[in-house]
Structure 1
Amino acid sequence: MAPTSTTRQIARLVNAQPSQDGDGVKIQRLHDFGGGLDPFLMLDELASDQPDDYIGGFPPHPHRGIQTLTYVIHGGLTHEDHLGHSSTINAGDAQWMHTGRGIIHSEMPLTDHQGLHAFQLWLNLAAEDKLSEATYRDVRADEMPELAGSDAFLTTLGGHWQTLAGDSVAGPLTRLAGQGAVAHARLEPGGELALENHATTLLVYVFAGGLDVAGTRIEKGQLARLDSGEALRLTSAEGGQALLLAGEPHGEPIAHYGPFVMNRQAELEQALRDYRDGTLTD
């Protein structure tokens, strides 16, 4: 007799908190620089139909030691960096940045009739990759394959995703830190999505409506960390949307200051000196 998949349950729920970043951009933020979401560090949600909440954007600033993934629901963002990349992403598009040793970039918002709704995810780089070469790429909406459930859809940005029925796809982002996988789940009223997922870290962030994980409710603005198992079952009576994040922990020390994430305090101090001296990106 074939073994029955163990359905993953909610181990912890965390509420997003209001914050500001960049030039006064209002966001909802979830973060854990103590390793509790390893390999993920932070998730920011930008959602407003009031231009004053986001129009200042994120003027040029540095990073070292992380990857960022920005995903737009509606509106848009224009990226520029010291490597010469300049591009705009719109609804359904994403941009991925491997900061490695150092990158200096800006992200400036574009609006549509609904305002701006976007996410930025930080993934921690393993110690061996902290000082690697920086790189960047765009991912367009038509590059992202979908999986279907029962009145449910999963858009895959990166990593491998598979339904319990055996259908599978791989997202275009193949170099997410910590064997990372990211997807956007959309459930219609009464919808159900059943996925096979063995990742050590599995997170569900609900940003519209509400979802149930194995019968336990997740409200809009909540992040659920799942316990161990092989199956993720999402349902929704009224419909809902969520980001799904899966990955494997690095299990390494984390030292964080502002835009820099390293392993030791001495490395943070070196990053600050390099930025002041103009050698961060050398």
Structure 2
Amino acid sequence: MSIQIIPSRPSSDGAGVKIQRVHGFQNNGLDPFLMLDEIRSDNPDDYGAGFPAHPHRGIETLTYIRHGGFEHQDHLGNKGGVQSGEAQWMSAGRGIIHSEMPLQKDGLMHGFQLWLNLPASEKMKDPDWQDIGRDQLPWHSLENSELKVIGGEFTFDKETFSGPLQQLPGQAAVADICLNPGAEARLEQSEECTLLLYVYEGKLSVNGQTVGAQQMIKVTSESALEISSETGSGALLLSGIPLQERVAHYGPFVMNTQAEIDQAIQDYQQGTLTD
């Protein structure tokens, strides 16, 4: 078994939105995931400018909002808001230009955006987008805990829970788990998967390893995990089968070679990224 603690780091993106970021571009260490951003602030100066129009190619994104809301618009004419308890999926494919702007001028904003790597065979497919409403994302009761599965499936204490998104790259699964004080849960998973847990509140223990807020833990080669929390905690669970493909990254573009990155930049500059 291998357990690695990965710290998040303060950063900013878009028009100066303050975030906590975890990424694995350098060594593809989060495969099939690329990056996780957390936004959490009740200061509108930290998020109010949002993410004006920008391009992507070669990735999928999953946005999950716990408090507050953002509105998506893209060059295809899609427009939709995602608010507390809701999620939004986007596949950039060969190219999409979109914006994500806050739906509020004050109050708490708390959410996540996850980047998933598209396999080489799908990087130039048509872009797509979908809002996932609160009614599609119920909380499931575990013993002294609650689980919300956004994509894929997780098995806790021999019971399997599924989410509405079932075709994420690398058979990825994504869930929000909230543990009450003293809670214990047993997570079963395939040993070929990479499992990531990002703690956004409190502390939890994974097979005896303590993880604090704004830390990610990566677990490999383990078929079952004992998760517990003495004081109560919240965490984002990510599980997926590594694609094991080369990653070339530049800003909003993620491809397999530098030549493909150069082509993406040229296509964007010439206005043909989305053709």
Bin the TM-score by the shorter chain. over 0.9
Question: Residue 17 of structure 1 is aligned with which of 9, 16, 23?
Answer: 9
SS at match of 1:189: coil
Q: Is the 8 A contact 1:28 1:45 kept in 2?
A: yes
Which stretch has the larger CA shift, 48-57 or 191-200? 191-200
Q: Which residue of 2 aligns with 1:64?
A: 57
1-structure distance, mates of 2:268, 2:188: 43
Aligned mates of 1:36, 1:277 — CA distance in 2:
33
Query: What does residue 180 of structure 1 align with?
Result: 172
Counterpart of 1:100, as a letter, is G
**Where do residues 183-198 of structure 1 align in structure 2 (5 Å cutoff)?**
183-198=175-190
Matched, 1:201 2:166: no
Instruction: Report the Cα distance in structure 1 between the residues aligned to 2:41 and 2:97, rounded to whole angstroms.
Output: 26
1:145 positional shift: 4.2
Letter in 2 for 1:20: S
Residue by residue over 1:138-171, the C-alpha shift from the partner in whole angstroms, topping out at 9 and shown as x without a partner, is 011220244432211110000011122x221210
Letter in 1 for 2:121: E
Query: Is 1:267 paired with 2:265?
Result: no
Local SS of the residue matching 1:178: helix
1:162 to 155, 162, 176: 155
Question: Structure 1 CA distance, aligned partners of 2:2 and 2:229?
Answer: 16
2:222 alignment partner in structure 1: 229
**1:116-159 deviation per Cα after TM superposition (whole angstroms, max 9, x unaligned):** 11100000000000100100000112202444322111100000
Structure 1 unpaired stretches of 5+: 1-8
Alpha-carbon distance change, 112 to 52 in structure 1, aligned in 2, over 3 angstroms: closer
C-alpha contact (below 8 Å) 1:158/1:181 kept by paired residues: yes
1:149 partner letter = L
Higher mean C-alpha deviation, range 140-149 or range 188-197:
140-149
Q: Is the 8 A contact 2:34 2:115 kept in 1?
A: yes
1:81 maps to what in 2? 74
Segments of 5+ residues of structure 2 without an aligned counterpart are: none
